[in-house]
Amino acid sequence: MNILPPRQGTYTEDELLNILMQSDDEDNFSEVEDDGWENLSKSDADSGHTPGKKELRVSLAIFQTRLLEGRKTLAAAIQDDIAVDIPRADPEIIEAVKTVNAISELVRRCVNAVGPAEIGQEYYVPMMPAVRTYARDRMIVLPGDVRFHTLRDVVVLLSDRNYNQELRRNFYAHSPIPGAIWANAPNNPILMKADEIMPANYDADALQTDVNDFDRMMAWLQTKLPKFVTTERIDFLKKGEASMLKCNGEGNLRYPDRKSDEEL
């Protein structure tokens, strides 16, 4: 997995290119119980109930809320010299997130595991690293580091043909955005329809609408794949688990492209 080393300041474009060109020879994927997703029929997949942009936004909002709410349980001081990204805790966004009635079991496990935890003799406080920039003070966009509060910036940058080409190619190769439309891929990919992925001025009301649609989709999905969906609520204040310390390689995982004339 391409990880940017912690550092102060910005990266030069040469440094950035060297990091991105480093290949991963080993993947460390955990085995997950088969949830039957592959058994959905084509008609089911074409019915509009499969995960898409709204599910992406809701899932990212859930994860961000878990990190923000988990900070309320901190029993240890955070070092002032650690460069972290702490988004504003919008109470209306958090309220909308907490109305989610059902999520995938896999998302629930992952989100529940991420929280302040004492493991052995060490105390771990999960946080998002500070957003990195390169020479022209533009955000470094990485496929494994898409956040709810920066999603709009991510899609706008990937839509800009003047944005760093290697960053766009790297993101395209591991794209985590479902149903994304790309032009000039794979050599010089340009993301299309950024507003479809994350509209400008997206607010708590828009998120609540997404959550309501998300709940309807999950209720339908539960009738098809009951093992895949859980109605167990996320405890946003619970302690974290040791499993959050595991890290998987990117490998060749990515969402397939969507054709320009293909319905979402």
Give the Cβ contact number of residue 171 at 10 Å: 27
Biggest alpha carbon distance in the chain? 55
State the pLDDT at residue 140. Answer: 93
Task: List all residues 6 or more positions away from 89 whose beta carbon is below 8 Å from its beta carbon.
Answer: 68
- The predicted model scores a pTM of 0.79
- Identify whether the C-beta of residue 238 lies closer than 8 Å to the C-beta of residue 160: no
d(CA 73, CA 238): 8
pLDDT at 252 over 60: yes
State the pLDDT at residue 128. Answer: 86
Peptide bond into 91 cis (omega under 30): no
pLDDT at 32 over 80: no
**pLDDT averaged over the chain?**
80
